[in-house]
Amino acid sequence: MSKITEQVEGIVSPIVESLGFELVDVEYVKEGPDYYLRIAIDKPDGIDIADCALASEKISEVMDKNDPITDAYFLDVSSPGAERPLKKEKDYEQAINENIYVKLYEPLEGDKEWIGILKAYDEQNITIEAKIKTRTKTFDIPRTKIAKIRRAVVL
C-alpha cells in the first residue's frame, strides 16, 4: 500500500464506518492523463447507488479539508463487486472454499495467473486447489509472490 493510500485510508475509514459501511479498498491510480481515487465500500446486505452517493458526499467534505493528494483527481466510491479483492485477513477467512483469482509477480509451475479454490491461508502462504488440464492439484503460494488476489466468478 502506498503512503497516499495509507493516509487516505486513515482519513476515510472513520467516515465510512460511521455510515455503517466497511472500507474494503483504497486505490490511487493514474490512467492516461487522469488520476483516480477509488474507494470500495460494502455492507452485509450489499451496497447500492444511494449508499455510494452518501459516502462520496461525506468523503468529499472531509477530503476537501484534509487531502494528502496534491494532484487533481476523480473520486470514485463504489461496491467492490462480486470479484471483491482479498485485502484483510477477514476477506481471506470469508473466501475459504470459494473460487479465487491469483496473479503472481513471477510464474509458479509455468503460470503467473491461477483460478482455484482457496483451501487455507496463514501469514506466509495461501493454499489453493486448481485444475490443471484434467487433474486437480493443491499447492501453496507464498503471499509475498502475490501481485493481486480476489474472489473469482466461475461459470
11 pLDDT tier (thresholds 50, 70, 90): very high
Q: Is residue 16 part of a domain?
A: yes
Same domain, residue pair 97 and 140: yes
Question: CATH number, domain at 24?
Answer: 3.30.300.70
Same domain, residue pair 95 and 71: no
Full domain range(s) for residue 147: 89-151
Nine cell digits for residue 71: 494532484
Specify the pLDDT at position 127: 96
Same domain, residue pair 8 and 73: yes
Tens digit of each residue's pLDDT (9 = 90 or more) over 16-64: 999 999 999 999 999 999 999 999 999 999 999 999 999 999 999 999 9
How many structural domains is the chain composed of? Answer: 2
Tens digit of each residue's pLDDT (9 = 90 or more) over 59-93: 999 999 988 999 999 999 999 988 999 988 999 99
* H or E stretch at 78: strand 74-78
Tens digit of each residue's pLDDT (9 = 90 or more) over 120-151: 999 999 999 998 888 999 999 999 999 999 99
Q: Let me know the angle formed at the C-alpha of 29 by 24 and 35, rounded to the nearest 5 degrees.
A: 120
How many Å apart are CA 57 and CA 126, to the nearest integer?
37
Specify the pLDDT at position 107: 92
Q: Is residue 84 part of a domain?
A: no
Specify the pLDDT at position 1: 53
Q: Which of 41, 58, 78 is the last residue of a domain?
A: 78
Same domain, residue pair 70 and 93: no
How many Å apart are CA 38 and CA 129, to the nearest integer?
31
* H or E stretch at 28: strand 22-31
